[in-house]
Structures are given as structure tokens and as C-alpha cells.
């Protein structure tokens, strides 16, 4: 994917948080590789500062609570990325948790990510990931696999800076 050239640098770095949603990782039965991969992309391609990272189980209430906490105005987080819980398993409830707390949903962002990832894998459409805002924070729910999460994030790197500027009121 070559969608990673932001048109212009932001006046202030993007302040981001990455939430890994995984029963196994939250119990230390598996090592989280998706969250750290997203952090690396945020730092290297968007020059983002990482404000928070966490790993929690696939629990609707805990996911919603974490999104609410990190999107609170006093946290000053522009972008929350979650990885995990967007598939077809009965425990995959991240989209439902996100929709519960969104002020406004923005389906086009994740549709664009899936469309841009389609040439690499039709499995991209197995992700039920959603996007939306809460206050001035953009929330993207990405797949749990390292490949799926990083490909979908990379598919949006060219437009995320403008989206953040717009949410900040800087555009």
C-alpha cells in the first residue's frame, strides 16, 4: 500500500492511544503483537505521540469504558486505535462497544480501509470494524491480526492528518 504520505504535517503532533482487545493477551496467555505494530506505524508514519496503551478482554462494558476514558476532553487524545474484537466470533464485540459510545459514526473511513486492502486480501471484508468520533477524538476499530490491523491503518495514513485537524478545528 502506498497511501502513507500525509499531504502536510500537522501543526501539533497527533496524540494517540492504542487499545488491544484480546481475552488471551489480557490473561498473559499470548503476546500482543498487533498493538505494538500499530504504535510503531503511528510513530514512524504520522510522528504521533503515544499517550496510552492497554490490553483488555473482549468485554463490551470494559471496551466502552476504555473508549470513554481515553476520549474524555482532559485526556487530549486525538486518535484511538483498537485492535481486536471486530471479527465474526461471538466474543467479538468491539464494534458494538464503539457504537455505544460514539457521538457520530463515520462508516466511510473503515469502508475506505477495507476497499484499499481488498487487492491484498478479500478477508479484509470479514472485519466488522467501525469508525466514529466522541467529542474531539477519532476512534478506529481495527482487526486483531497484526497483518489486518497494520494494513487497514496504512490504508488510511494519507487522510488521518486532515481528519485530526478537522476534529481539532484547525482545518
Residue 5 maps to a domain: no
- Residue 3 falls within a domain, yes or no? no
Overall domain count for the chain: 1
Give me the domain span that covers residue 71: 15-168
Segment holding 163, helix H or strand E? helix 160-168
Task: Give the CATH number, domain containing residue 129.
Answer: 3.40.980.10
Per-residue pLDDT reduced to its tens digit, 105-126: 999 999 999 999 999 999 999 9
Q: So what's the pLDDT on residue 11?
A: 73
> Is 1 domain-assigned?
no
Confidence of residue 9 (pLDDT cuts 50, 70, 90): low
Task: Return the pLDDT at 6.
Answer: 45
Q: Is residue 2 part of a domain?
A: no
What local confidence, expressed as pLDDT, does residue 10 receive? 64
What is the pTM for the complete model shown? 0.93
**Which residues on neighbouring strands pair with residue 19, listed in sequence order?**
54, 82
Instruction: Provide the pLDDT for residue 121.
Output: 93
- The rounded distance, in Å, linking the Cα atoms of 132 and 50 is 20
Residue 76 resides in a domain: yes
For the beta sheet containing 137-142, the strands, ordered from the edge strand earlier in sequence to the opposite edge, are: 49-56, 15-21, 79-83, 137-142, 131-134, 104-105
pLDDT tens digits, residue range 25-71? 999 999 999 999 999 999 999 999 999 999 999 999 999 999 999 99
Q: What pairs with residue 139 in β-bridges?
A: 80, 132
* Domain presence at residue 43: yes
C-alpha cell at position 106 = 463515520
> What is the chain's mean pLDDT, rounded?
94
Amino acid at each position: 500500500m502506498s497511501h502513507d504520505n500525509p499531504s502536510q504535517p500537522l501543526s501539533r503532533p497527533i496524540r494517540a492511544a492504542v487499545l488491544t482487545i484480546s481475552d488471551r493477551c489480557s490473561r498473559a496467555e499470548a503476546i500482543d503483537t498487533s498493538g505494538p505494530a500499530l504504535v510503531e506505524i503511528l510513530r514512524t508514519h504520522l510522528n504521533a505521540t503515544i499517550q496510552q496503551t492497554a490490553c483488555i478482554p473482549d468485554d463490551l462494558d470494559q471496551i466502552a469504558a476504555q473508549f470513554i476514558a481515553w476520549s474524555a476532553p482532559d485526556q487530549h487524545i486525538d486518535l484511538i486505535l483498537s485492535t481486536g474484537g471486530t471479527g465474526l466470533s461471538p466474543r467479538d464485540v468491539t464494534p458494538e462497544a464503539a457504537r455505544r459510545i460514539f457521538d457520530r459514526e463515520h462508516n466511510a473511513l473503515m469502508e475506505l480501509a477495507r476497499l484499499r486492502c481488498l487487492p491484498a486480501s478479500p478477508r479484509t471484508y470479514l472485519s466488522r470494524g467501525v469508525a466514529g468520533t466522541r467529542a474531539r477524538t477519532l476512534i478506529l476499530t481495527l482487526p486483531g491480526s497484526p497483518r489486518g490491523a497494520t494494513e487497514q491503518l496504512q490504508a488510511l495514513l494519507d487522510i488521518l492528518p486532515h481528519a485530526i485537524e478537522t476534529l481539532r478545528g484547525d482545518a
